[in-house]
Amino acid sequence: MKTACFDGKQMKYVQNYPYPKPEESLVKVNLAGICGTDLEILGGYMEYRGILGHEFVGTVKHSDNSNLVGKRVVGEINVGCNECDNCKKDLQRHCPNRTVLGILKRDGAFAEFLSLPSENLHVIPDSISDEQAVFIEPLAAAFEIKEQVSLNPEWVVAVVGDGRLAQMICQVLKLSCSNVTCFGKHQSKLKHMKKLSILTKIGIDSLSHQFFDLVVEATGSNSGFTDTMKLVKPRGTVILKSTIASRENLDLTPTIVNEITLIGSRCGLFKPAIDALATGMISVDFMIDSIYPLENFSDAIEHAKKSDTFKVFLKP
């Protein structure tokens, strides 16, 4: 099959790559999204080798669950061993033996086909387009915050970052907290938040220092953590969303001095994300940027790296 494969140094277009595991559900990829984690992997994150891509929508061609065949699906990316204590608690994302689609020991979605266990797949209603469906995986990660923190409607909340994940997080938090501010660097991106009645700021002024009860860091950079610590109140809560390849040391002293609660946050449940898109509760259409054929992956990645770019797709 045709793929865009990463050998640890560069990506290459391969036309005769082996097909995925026959014992799992076989999914023909309709569309795959390039996300920040993919770009970090290209920079050395996870030391991954293989086919990248974990945001996708596809059509099931073969499955041990006959009800899935022919259906349009998205898939949860973590595959656990189903034997350890974490898997028995339905925490496959923390299974020590897990594989992760396009990230850890499992080929991903930048290909004609991928495979996942049938229990990882979710059928998508017709009301959600292919482009919208690709956002379900990161939108689920945004909804995970509501699972980890009991949001107080009276909290003053900040999100640091103006990229795709940050903007979805802003919308999710706005469902529970009326006072949400998005701190970014690009007016062209922040204008969409203003249309959704979310406050926006370029840069951090002195009036914003230690002003927020909850701050979510979603910049994808080390500097984002420093900015986050400026914003959060003493004894406030910080949610960390960025996964970065940089080995630069972070200064944790303000975290200790101000007794900040740090919460790492990764993947989330798909159902809230699917429901939110199907009902129009969350908007992602404004983040649809461009679609490239798989063989033009190099141009797609270069475009995705631009600071003012939203979601770039690959179409096998």
Please report, for the chain, the start and end positions of each structural domain, with discontinuous segments joined by +: 3-135+284-315, 142-264
* Under 8 Å between Cβ of 119 and 192: no
* Under 8 Å between Cβ of 123 and 136: no
Q: How far apart are CA 144 and CA 123, in angstroms?
A: 20
Q: How far apart are CA 269 and CA 172, in angstroms?
A: 14
pLDDT of residue 184: 95
Q: How far apart are CA 300 and CA 201, in angstroms?
A: 29
Say if residue 156's pLDDT is above 80: yes
* Amino acid identity, position 148: Q
**Span 142-264 CATH architecture:** 3-Layer(aba) Sandwich (3.40)
Considering the entire predicted model, what is its pTM?
Answer: 0.94
Half-sphere exposure of 233 (CA within 13 A, CB side): 10
- What's the rounded mean pLDDT across residues 288-315? 96
- What's the rounded mean pLDDT across residues 233-252? 84
Q: How far apart are CA 96 and CA 23, in angstroms?
A: 22
Three-state secondary-structure class, residue 10: coil
Pick 242 or 68 by higher pLDDT: 68
- How does residue 223 score in pLDDT terms, banded at 50, 70 and 90? confident
Classify domain 3-135+284-315 at the CATH topology level. Quinone Oxidoreductase; Chain A, domain 1 (3.90.180)
CA distance to 30, 73, 109, 186, 293, per residue, from 129 (Å) = 11, 11, 18, 27, 18
Q: How far apart are CA 88 and CA 85, in angstroms?
A: 5
Among 80, 122, 83, 85, residue whose Cα is nearest residue 101: 80
Residues in CB range of 247: below 8 A, 6 or more apart: none
The secondary structure element, H or E, covering residue 214 is strand 212-217
- How does residue 245 score in pLDDT terms, banded at 50, 70 and 90? low
pLDDT of residue 11: 96
- Tell me if 3-135+284-315 shares its fold with 142-264: no
**The dihedral sign for the CA sequence 179, 265, 245, 6:** negative
Say if residue 141's pLDDT is above 80: yes
- What's the rounded mean pLDDT across residues 183-195? 92
Q: How far apart are CA 180 and CA 166, in angstroms?
A: 12
Three-state secondary-structure class, residue 94: helix
Torsion of CA 154, 265, 270, 86, to 10 degrees: -120
The secondary structure element, H or E, covering residue 254 is helix 253-257
Least confident of 147-161, 246-260, 266-280: 246-260
* Under 8 Å between Cβ of 263 and 67: no
pLDDT of residue 246: 59
Among 266, 212, 208, 261, residue whose Cα is nearest residue 237: 261
Mean pLDDT (the chain) is 95
Say what percent of the chain tops pLDDT 90. Answer: 91
The secondary structure element, H or E, covering residue 79 is strand 78-79
Half-sphere exposure of 204 (CA within 13 A, CB side): 20
Q: How far apart are CA 228 and CA 190, in angstroms?
A: 18
- How does residue 220 score in pLDDT terms, banded at 50, 70 and 90? confident
pLDDT digits (tens, 9 = 90+) for 37-90: 999 999 988 999 999 999 999 999 999 999 999 999 999 999 999 999 999 999
